[in-house]
């Protein structure tokens, strides 16, 4: 069994068995038919993945890794907030007529800040610290900028990364305020596992432990039957992640530099209803 499958199944069972329903509460999210999108949730879910053992991608159903990496590069490499720089339609619902999602995600990472060593944006500061002071306990990126929240079309969900080097292993914590478990969980896990691998490779470290902290891990009411079926599926061994070893600079990576070898999965789930 893929360990990512095991973690996912355990999390879903805990939400279904011990979660709290929002029925009777006024909720922001709605289904496309206008009905309120209620959830069952657990507070403060913490999942751990050892990236030196396997790449954490689901086999219970396929995760489109190339599309996930494309969004990751849009945010962390291009530092863009415009969907015209993205090769998918996943952000279309939050974009204006010009394609902007406001001062969110990549926009925040691209803002330059003053440090004693000079001016850096948040991504370049991480690269600088991993090169010059890798054992610092201050290697953090944070996209939750309160002064700009009113100009964001969606507040950041996955909003901060804390990096920590132990020996020759690069570890990281992803903090997420809210997550739609069915739609987004493994998408985010695979993305940020890739990010750790990228930073590790260009900084001459090995990818270590990835800790994912979710403040509000929820399953929408119309997703419950899908989740129950999904976690009963057969799990397969995790695939092997292959990364182009010639890429030595963070900004040189492309989607095509990552390949999954032996990725065996169950069939995809079609027409999942999405709450907005």
Instruction: List b or e across 162-172, with b for residues whose CB sees 16 or more CB atoms inside 10 angstroms.
Output: bbbbeeebbbb
Query: Which of the residues are catalytic?
Result: 157
Residue 255: predicted pLDDT: 98
Q: Is 148 annotated as a binding residue?
A: no
Q: Is 179 annotated as a binding residue?
A: yes
* 78-124 residue pLDDT tens: 999 999 999 999 999 899 999 999 999 999 999 999 999 999 999 99
Q: Is 197 annotated as a binding residue?
A: no
| Gyration radius of the chain over CA positions | 19
Prediction pTM value: 0.97
- Nearest by Cα to 36 from 270, 222, 225, 214: 222
Q: Is 201 annotated as a binding residue?
A: no
Q: Which residue segments constitute the domains of the chain, with CATH numbers given?
A: 3-261 (3.30.572.10)
* 140-169 residue pLDDT tens: 999 999 999 999 999 999 999 999 999 999
User: Over 90: is that where the pLDDT of 276 sits?
Assistant: no
């Amino acid at each position: 069994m893929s360990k990512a499958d095991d973690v996912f199944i355990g999390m879903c069972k805990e939400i279904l068995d011990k979660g709290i329903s929002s029925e009777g509460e006024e909720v922001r999210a709605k289904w496309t038919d206008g009905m309120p999108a209620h959830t069952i949730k657990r507070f403060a879910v913490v999942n751990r993945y050892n990236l030196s053992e396997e790449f954490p991608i689901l086999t219970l159903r396929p995760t489109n890794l190339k599309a996930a990496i494309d969004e990751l590069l849009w945010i962390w490499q291009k530092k863009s907030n415009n969907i015209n720089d993205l090769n998918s339609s996943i952000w279309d619902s939050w974009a204006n007529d010009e394609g902007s999602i406001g001062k969110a995600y990549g926009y925040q990472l691209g803002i330059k800040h003053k440090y004693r060593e000079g001016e850096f944006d948040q991504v370049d500061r991480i690269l600088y610290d991993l090169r010059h002071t890798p054992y610092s306990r201050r290697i953090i990126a944070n996209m939750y900028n309160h002064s700009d929240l009113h100009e964001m079309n969606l507040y950041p969900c996955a909003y901060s990364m804390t990096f920590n080097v132990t020996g020759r292993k690069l570890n990281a914590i992803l903090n997420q305020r809210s997550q739609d478990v069915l739609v987004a969980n493994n998408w985010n896990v695979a993305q940020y596992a890739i990010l750790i691998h990228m930073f590790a490779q260009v900084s001459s470290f090995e990818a270590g432990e990835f800790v994912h902290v979710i403040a509000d891990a929820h399953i929408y009411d119309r997703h419950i039957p899908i989740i129950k079926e999904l976690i009963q599926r057969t799990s397969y061994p995790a695939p092997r992640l292959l990364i182009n070893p010639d890429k030595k600079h963070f900004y040189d990576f492309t989607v095509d530099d990552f390949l999954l070898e032996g990725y065996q999965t169950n069939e995809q789930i079609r027409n999942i209803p999405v709450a907005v």
